[in-house]
Amino acid sequence: MTDQIKMATAQKIDRLAYIDWMRGLACVVMFQAHCYDSWMSPQARQGALYGWSQFAATLPAPIFLFLCGVSFALVTERLREKGVERNAVARTTILRGAEVCGLGILFRVQEFVLGIHTAPWTDLLRVDVLNILGLAMMLMGALCWLTGGAHRSVSRQRGIALGFLSAAAVAIATPHLWTTYRPRFLYWAIESYIDGVHVFGQPQPWLFPLFPWAAFAFAGLAIGFLLFSDAAKGNSSGFFLLLGIAGASVALLSILFDHSPIYFSQNYDYWHTSPNFFLMRCGVLLLILSFSYAWCRWGLARRGFSPLIQLGKTSLLVYWVHIEFVYGGLSILSKRVNTALQATGGLLLITAGMLVLSILRTNWKSRRKSTALPRPSPEAAVPVEF
């Protein structure tokens, strides 16, 4: 009996650790992408370092959205296990999504105020990752309500199916909504949530509209529900191995589809709107997820202090704060004038600073919990981080 308790505890720790570790990895990749982009001079950008840095920059946003979906499924299952009825689950999760949307708007207001002499007013309405994260959470809350109301295992199976179908629908619709069927009749600030047009007249791949970004959250939701399946619970190591194999297979399919006429589109753009590129990134996400689990269970991540796990616990905070010290008026280095070595030094300072901030936040939160009265509320389980 004691061994079973220890095993269950270890599995719970591993489950939380690999999600935090993967989220922390996204934070570090995000730091380097932003630091090199903000600080390196035009001459330094000609080197291979900057090219690889921006290539890696395509990973953090999908990771954050994907893990949001995974965490969302874990929370929904936890609430269902406690017997919380589906209307209450939906209300709790949708309100949390609305709160994150509000934080996204607050973040844009903060950036506008701090850069009031240089930032155009239209930046207040720019679609950023927090906005889409909140909207995706609201949509996932609605999806979980639709799939609820039955036995937990049936609701879970419905959630898996509808999550994958929703991800596929968003990915397939994206190139059409960016080109032929653009909702031009909408005000640009509203249209931007569909295709990221903002004020530029054409969709911008560096923004974060619902299409295609919400697809990563739906895919993560389906994977999160899969984690509660009997197969995953009975043999978690084998399940994550299969996830890694599935990731490699999906990435291979992306390449095969890209070189075949299987998907027809008038404006085929593999690197931005193609469903084939979505497949590739999903394959990479599954590979990283599988590796994260293995690293946190058998690697060095759980042997002592792990900086990535620590950063992953406070990803929203470090995202919010580091932006101002990299892109904002409080930037620790002058922008667009530094060598690769100088920018790397700044990157190390930012990473160390965000790690210290993360530790302080975690310690403060722990002390606050130890002195607060217990609140048996399901709202406490809703994911706060990315």
> Same domain, yes or no, for 108 and 133?
yes
**What are the structure tokens assigned to 277, written together?**
């590129």
Domain count, the chain: 2
> Same domain, yes or no, for 235 and 95?
yes
- Could you say which of 217, 243, 269 is where a domain stops? 243
Distances (CA, A) of 260 to 49, 264, 272, 292, 319: 33, 9, 18, 33, 39
Mean pLDDT in residue range 234-253: 94
Mean pLDDT in residue range 111-116: 81
Give 371 or 155, the one with higher predicted confidence.
155
| C-alpha torsion angle, residues 34, 20, 144, 193 (rounded to 10) | 0
Does residue 53 contact residue 33 with C-beta atoms inside 8 Å? yes
**HEC string of 85-132?**
CHHHHHHHHHHHHHHHHHHHHHHHHHHHHHCCCCCCHHHHHCCCHHHH
Determine, yes or no, domain membership for 139: yes
Q: 114-160: per-residue pLDDT in tens?
A: 876 778 899 999 999 999 999 999 999 999 999 987 888 899 999 99
> Same domain, yes or no, for 182 and 312?
no
> Same domain, yes or no, for 18 and 161?
no
Determine, yes or no, domain membership for 294: no
* Backbone φ/ψ region at 235: left (φ over 0), alpha (ψ -120 to 50), beta: beta
| pLDDT band (50, 70, 90) for residue 380 | very low
SS3 195: helix
Helix (H) or strand (E) holding 258: helix 236-258
> Same domain, yes or no, for 134 and 224?
yes
Range of the domain at 329: 1-57+304-370+378-386
Rounded CA-CA distance 370/366 in Å is 6
269, pLDDT greater than 70: yes
Judging by beta carbons within 10 Å of its beta carbon (0-12, 13-18, 19+), is residue 48 exposed, middle or buried? exposed
Q: 315-369: per-residue pLDDT in tens?
A: 999 999 999 999 988 899 999 999 999 999 999 999 999 999 999 999 998 887 7
| pLDDT band (50, 70, 90) for residue 265 | low
pTM above 0.75, yes or no: yes
Report phi then psi at 9, rounded to 5.
-65, -40
> Same domain, yes or no, for 146 and 45?
no
CA atoms within 13 A on the CB side of 371: 5
